[in-house]
Structure 1
Amino acid sequence: MKKLQNRNVKKYTLAALLMGVGLNSFAQETGKKNDPEKPVTIDSFDVVRDYKPILADAVKIRRSPDMTNKREYQPKLNYGNIIDKKLDINTGLKQLNVQEIPFAQPFEHSSNYVKFGVGNYNTILGEAYLASEQFENTRFGLFAKHLSQKGNIDGQKFSTQDIGIFGRRVLDAVTVKGTIGYNRYGTNFYGQTFDQPGTTLLNTSPDKQTFTDIYLNGELASNVDPKNEQSVSYSAKVDGYLFKDAYKAKENSFALSGYLNKRMSAFNVGANVSVTMNDVKNENDTANVKNNLFLINPYIRFKGDNYNVTLGANLTSEFGDESRFNVFPSVEADFSLAPEYISLFAGVNGNVRQGSFRNFAKENPYLAPNVRIANSIEKLNVYGGLKGNAGATFGYKVKVFYKQIEGLPLFKNSAFGDNQGGYIPWAFDVVYDGQINKAKHMGLEGEINVRLSQLVNLGGKVFIDDYNLSDEEEAWGLPKFRLQANARFNISDKFFVDAELSSQGNTYAYVYDYNTDGSRVADSGHKVTIASFADLNAGAEYRIKKQFGVFVKANNIFGKEYQRYMYYPRLGFNVIGGLNYSF
C-alpha cells in the first residue's frame, strides 16, 4: 500500500513539473512579444531521478581492447640514391623521341593447323592448312589432305589427295583472289556381280580407276559501298581444269564469266555473261565431244523495304559439235509478309545445264569407258515457297518446284558383258531421258537451322522428289527421299561434339543376268530395288592445351554396308582417331 502511495506521489510530482514547464514556456513566449530585448533564462532544474544511460545490445563492442603498448619496427631510410641533378625547365616541354618497336602480329593465329589420324580399314588421314594473316588486306596460304582406306572386299580401296595454294588481296577499289590446285582420287571397279545362278563372282580381278584434276580459278570483284545508291558493281572470273581418268578419257575446260550491275535508287540494271569451252576426248574417237556454251542474262531489279522483284531473260547459245539457241524467262519475286519473320518468294526460269565428264565422275566414279556427254535443258522451272527467321536462333525455308527437262542424265548399269564390246556390267553408262517427250521433275525442299544456345546448334535439310519420265522406266540411281541433319555441341571451351545423319530412300537399277563366261543372257533385263539406308557419323574433339588436341570420328555407326550404286557396298563401321595442332 505504501509503495502504491509513493508511486502516485511520483506521478503527481511529474505532472506538476510538466505543467510548470508549459506555463513557463507560455510566459516566455508572451514576454518575448511584449519585450523583445529581455533575454530568456532558466534559473534552476529539479532532478526527479538519477540518470542511468543504457546502450543497446546491437552497438555494444564485445571485444576487450588490447592494452599492451607495442611499437612497430621502423626501418632506417636511406636517401642516398637520389641523383643531384638540376631540373631543366628553360625551354618548356622537350620533343619526345619515338622509339621503333619490333614488328608484331596484329592477332594470334588460330586458323593454321595440322592433323594426323589412323583407324580401322587401314585408314590413314593427314591434313594441313597454312595461311599468312599478318596483313590486314592480304591473305595467302596452302592446303593439303590425304585419306586412304581399304575394305574387306577384293579391290575395295579408296584414296584421295588434294593440294593447292590460294591468295586474296583487298585493294581500295577491287578484291582479287585465286586458287591453283591438284586433286587425285583413286579406287577400283570392285562391283560384286554374280552369274545367273548367283554363285560365281564375275568380277574376280577389279580394274583400277584413277581421276586426276588440275584446276585453277581467279576472280576480280569490285568493292561496293552499300550506302551508295548510285554505285556500279562488277566482277570478272576465270575457271579452268584438266581432268582425266585411267582409260584415256580426258576433259579440258576453260570458262570466262562476269557481271555488271548499276544501282539507281529503288532499282538495279545489269547483266550476267559467261562463255565455257569444253573438249572431251575418249579412247574411242567416236565419243569425242566439243561442247561449248555462251550465256547472257540481262535483268532489271526493283527493290524496296519489303519486296524484291527481278525481271530478265536467259539467252543461251550451244556451239561446237551441235548448235542451238534458246531463250528462257528469268523472273523472281520476294515479298516480306512480316519483316524478318516470314517472306514469300516465287519465280519462273529456264536454262541449259552443261554436261561435263568431270561432274559425272565426281558423282559416280564407276563410269564405263566412252560415256556420252550431252547438255540438259530445263525448258521450264517454276518454284515458290516461304522463308524467314525468328531472331538469330531460328531460320527456315520451304520450297516447291516443277521442272520440264529435255535430257535428264541418269546412271544406268552397262548392258554388256566383259567380252562384249569392252563394257562391263559393274560399270555405268550415262543415259538421257526426255529426248522424245520432256521429263517432268516435281519436288519439295525444306531447310531449318536452330540455335538453342551458345552450346547447341542444330540444322537439317529434306528433299522429296518425284519423276515422270518419257523414255526410261525409272529415274535410275536418283532417290525420291533424302535427309541431311547435323548437330554441334560445345560442351566447354575445350570439348566439342558434332554429329551428322544422312538418309536416303529406295532407288532403282536396271540389271541383267549373266552366264558364267560373263556373257549377257538375252532379254534378261529387269528392274531391281536398292534398299534405303541411314548413315550416322559422329565426332569429338578435346583440346588438351590451347594449341594441342585429340580427336575421334566414327563413320557409319549403324554398321550397315549399304549400296549407293548397284553392286558397290560401302564400308561398314569405321573409326578414325588422332592428334591436331593449331597455331
Structure 2
Amino acid sequence: MNKRIQLLSIIFLGFSSVAFSQIKEEKLILNKKREPEVKKIEKKKTSVETIKNYPPEEKSQNPVQYRITDVPAVSDFKTSTIQGQDVTPKFEGSAQNNYIQFGMGNYGKILGDANFSKTLENKIEVGVDAHFLSTQGLKKVYNWDSKQSSTTLGAFLNSYGDKGKFNLNAEYGLDSYNYYGIYALEPADVDLDQRVNQFKVNGYYDFYSNEILNDVRVTSSFLKDHFDAQENQVSILANLSKHAVEIGKSGFNLNADLGVGVEAVKSEFAILDQNSSNFVNLNLAPKVTFRKGDSYLMLGSSFAFLNSKNQNAMMAEQMKNNKTYWFPQAEFQYAAADEFKFYGGVDGGLKLNTYADLLQQNPFIVSDQYLRPTETKYHFYVGLRGDIDEMFKYDVSAGYGKMNDIMFFRANDLFDYTSVNRSAYNYANTFSAVYDNGNVGDIKGSLQYFPLANLVLDTEVKFTKFDLDNYSDIYNVPLVTASIGAKYTMLDQKLMLGFKGIFASDRTTNSFVLEGVGNPVTYLSAEDTNDKVGGYADLNLSAEYKIHKNFSIFALGNNLLNSKYQTYKGYKVLGAQILGGVKITF
C-alpha cells in the first residue's frame, strides 16, 4: 500500500504543472544557516507560543525546558526584484554552518551563496555570509535595459551564557535594478538605473526564564538610494513578564506581560516635492493570560504615543502632530479536543510606513514619498483550527476591521511634460503611496496533509475585501490569493522533490495614455482609473540530490507556464526559468 502511495505521490509531483502555476514574486531558498539559525521554540512555562532565535544550552541548575517544534533554517535571499517569494522545499534539519553554493540559468542568471561560521571558546560563535544573484532581464520583451542584481554581505555573533543567549548581526545589501516598466512611451536608449543601499545592525538578548525581563531586541537600518533618498530607523523593544502563577487549586495559570518599545524613523527625499518626515512612536502593551491546558483567555490593551513631523518644498512651515492611540487586545481559545479548537479575538495597532518597507513591497516607487502611519482601530476575528490524527492540520478564520490611512500604491503620471532628457522615473513608470480610510473584511484558510512521513501537502487561500471612503477600488491588491505546494523526500533523504503553485485574482490599477503634440513635443495625458493588471497562476518545481554528505546538486524551475504576467502595470516578470547548480558543505 505504501509503495502505491509513493508512486502516486511521484506522479502527482511530476504532473502538477498541468494543474498549477507560480507567483507574482519568487525567491530561491538556499538552505543556509542565517543569523545563524531560526528555530521555533515553545517555552513550557510560557502562556503562548513564542519564536526565539537560538535554543539555549541547559547550563543552569534548574533549566527551563524547551521543545523544538520547527528546526529548518533557510535563506531569505531573493532571486530578483522581478520575482521574490521562497518556493523551494528544503531538507528538514539539514542546515549546514559552512557551505558554498553556485548556480547558473537562463535569462543570464548567476547565483552565488556562501556561509562560514566557527565556534570559539566560551561557546561564542562567529560567522559571515555572502549572497549574489543577477539576471539580464527581459531582453526580448523590452528595447531598454531590465537587468537586475542583488548582493548581501553579513556577519553575526552568538553567545550562550548562564542566564540567556545573545545575538548580534550586521548586514549590508545592495539592490541594483531599472525602472523598466514603460508602457505609455517608446523611448530609445535611456538610463533607467535605480540602486538601493541598506545597512542593518540588530541585537537580541533572550533570558532563559520568563521572570521579569523576558527579552530585549534592538534593530536599526540605514538606507540610501541612487536619487539621494535617505532613511534612518531604530527600534528598541523589551518584554517584561511574570509567568506560570498558579491560581489556587482551580487548575488555571496566570501569565502577566508588558511590552515596552520605542521606534524612531527619519526619512528625507531630494527630488520632486522633497518630502521629509520624522516619527517617534512609544508603545506600551500590557496583558494578562489565563490558561488551562490548551484553552486560554488573554485580555490586554496597547497604547501608542506618536510624535510626527512632515515637510516638503511646498510647505512654508513644518507640520507637527502629537497623538495618543488606544487599541483593544483580547483573544480566547476553547480547546474542545485536539481536532477542534475554537478561537476569536480583537486586536489593533499603529504601523509606521517607512521607505524601506515600501521598497520591499514595490521596488518601483519613486524616490519621493509622503509617509503616514497606518492605524488599525480594531480587527475582530473568529476561527477554528485543529490537528486530526496528526495527519491533517487546518486553520480557518474570518475577520472584519476598521482602518485609517490604509496604504497602497498608485501609478504616477509624467512629472514633466516637456523634458527632452527624461529622468529614470519620468516615463509614467513609477508608483507612489496613497492613503485612504475604510473597512476591511478577510477570510483565510490553510490546510496541511501528511499522508506519509516523507510527503507533505499544503494549501492556503485568502480573501481580502476593502471598502474605502474615497477610492472605489484599492489599487494593486488582489481580492483572492492562494497557494498549493508539496515536498517529497526519497532515496533515504538524499533526493527531495517539490512544487509550489501560487495564484492571484485580477487587480485594479490606474494608468495613463500619453499623446505627443507640437514641436518640440509636449505630452497630453489621460488617466484610466479602472485599468486591470490581470491575475496570474505560476508554477514552480524543484529538486535537490545529495551525491555525498558534503556535495549536492540542485535544479529549480520557476514560472514553468512561461507566463509574462505583470505584478505592477508595465512590469512583466521573467518567463520560464531553469537554474541548476552545486553546493559544497564542509
Using the size of structure 1 for normalisation, the TM-score is 0.76
Tell me how far apart the structure 1 counterparts of residues 188 and 416 of structure 2 sit (CA, whole Å): 9
Deviation at 1:524, TM superposition (A): 3.7
Q: Is 1:578 the equivalent of 2:581?
A: yes
Question: What is residue 374 of structure 2 aligned with on the other side?
Answer: 376
Tell me how far apart the structure 2 counterparts of residues 515 and 470 of structure 1 sit (CA, whole Å): 32
Tell me how far apart the structure 1 counterparts of residues 303 and 214 of structure 2 sit (CA, whole Å): 20
Tell me how far apart the structure 2 counterparts of residues 286 and 147 of structure 1 sit (CA, whole Å): 32
- 1:303-322 correspondence runs (5 A): 303-321=291-309, 322=321
Question: What is residue 328 of structure 1 aligned with on the other side?
Answer: 327
One-letter code aligned to 1:247:
F
Question: What is residue 521 of structure 1 aligned with on the other side?
Answer: 524
SS, match of residue 186 in structure 1: strand
Q: 1:357 to 1:109 in 2, by over 3 A?
A: closer
Question: What is residue 234 of structure 1 aligned with on the other side?
Answer: 214
Q: Is 1:161 the equivalent of 2:161?
A: no
Deviation at 1:486, TM superposition (A): 2.3
Deviation at 1:393, TM superposition (A): 3.2
Q: Is 1:267 the equivalent of 2:254?
A: yes
Q: 1:539 to 1:334 in 2, by over 3 A?
A: same
One-letter code aligned to 2:178:
N
1:428-470 CA deviation, whole Å, 9 max, x = no partner?
0111011xxxx11111111222222122112222111111111
- 1:100-179 correspondence runs (5 A): 110-132=96-118, 137-151=123-137, 152=139, 153=142, 154-179=144-169
Deviation at 1:145, TM superposition (A): 0.8
Tell me how far apart the structure 2 counterparts of residues 532 and 581 of structure 1 sit (CA, whole Å): 39
Tell me how far apart the structure 1 counterparts of residues 448 and 121 of structure 2 sit (CA, whole Å): 34
Conserved? CA contact 1:417–1:520, under 8 Å: no
Deviation at 1:525, TM superposition (A): 3.3
Q: Which runs of 5+ in 2 are unaligned?
A: 1-93, 247-252, 310-320
Deviation at 1:572, TM superposition (A): 0.5
1:541-562 CA deviation, whole Å, 9 max, x = no partner?
1222221121111111000001
Conserved? CA contact 1:190–1:206, under 8 Å: no
Tell me how far apart the structure 1 counterparts of residues 532 and 358 of structure 2 sit (CA, whole Å): 22
Conserved? CA contact 1:140–1:168, under 8 Å: yes
Q: Is 1:243 the equivalent of 2:231?
A: no
Question: What is residue 31 of structure 2 aligned with on the other side?
Answer: none
Q: Is 1:180 the equivalent of 2:170?
A: yes
- 1:213-232 correspondence runs (5 A): 213-224=198-209, 231-232=211-212
Tell me how far apart the structure 2 counterparts of residues 560 and 542 of structure 1 sit (CA, whole Å): 28
One-letter code aligned to 2:410:
K
Deviation at 1:520, TM superposition (A): 5.3
SS, match of residue 562 in structure 2: coil
Deviation at 1:135, TM superposition (A): 7.5
Tell me how far apart the structure 1 counterparts of residues 412 and 365 of structure 2 sit (CA, whole Å): 9
Deviation at 1:137, TM superposition (A): 4.5
SS, match of residue 329 in structure 1: strand
Give the paired residue count. Answer: 461
Q: Which runs of 5+ in 1 are unaligned?
A: 1-107, 196-200, 226-230
1:155-184 CA deviation, whole Å, 9 max, x = no partner?
211111111112222212111112111111
SS, match of residue 512 in structure 1: strand
Question: What is residue 472 of structure 2 aligned with on the other side?
Answer: 473
Which deviates more from structure 2 when the two are superposed, residues 407-416 or residues 204-213? 204-213
Question: What is residue 559 of structure 1 aligned with on the other side?
Answer: 562
One-letter code aligned to 1:143:
D
Q: 1:509 to 1:245 in 2, by over 3 A?
A: same
- 1:452-467 correspondence runs (5 A): 452-467=451-466
Between Structure 1 and Structure 2, which shows a larger proportion of strand residues? 2
SS, match of residue 583 in structure 2: strand
Question: What is residue 67 of structure 1 aligned with on the other side?
Answer: none
One-letter code aligned to 1:239:
T
Deviation at 1:411, TM superposition (A): 0.6
Structure of larger gyration radius:
1
Conserved? CA contact 2:184–2:512, under 8 Å: no
Q: 1:428 to 1:341 in 2, by over 3 A?
A: same
Deviation at 1:580, TM superposition (A): 1.0
Deviation at 1:306, TM superposition (A): 3.9
1:4-39 CA deviation, whole Å, 9 max, x = no partner?
xxxxxxxxxxxxxxxxxxxxxxxxxxxxxxxxxxxx
Conserved? CA contact 1:512–1:520, under 8 Å: no
Looking at both structures, which has the greater relative contact order when contacts are Cα pairs under 8 Å and sequence separation is at least 6? 2
Q: 1:241 to 1:527 in 2, by over 3 A?
A: same
- 1:355-370 correspondence runs (5 A): 355-370=353-368
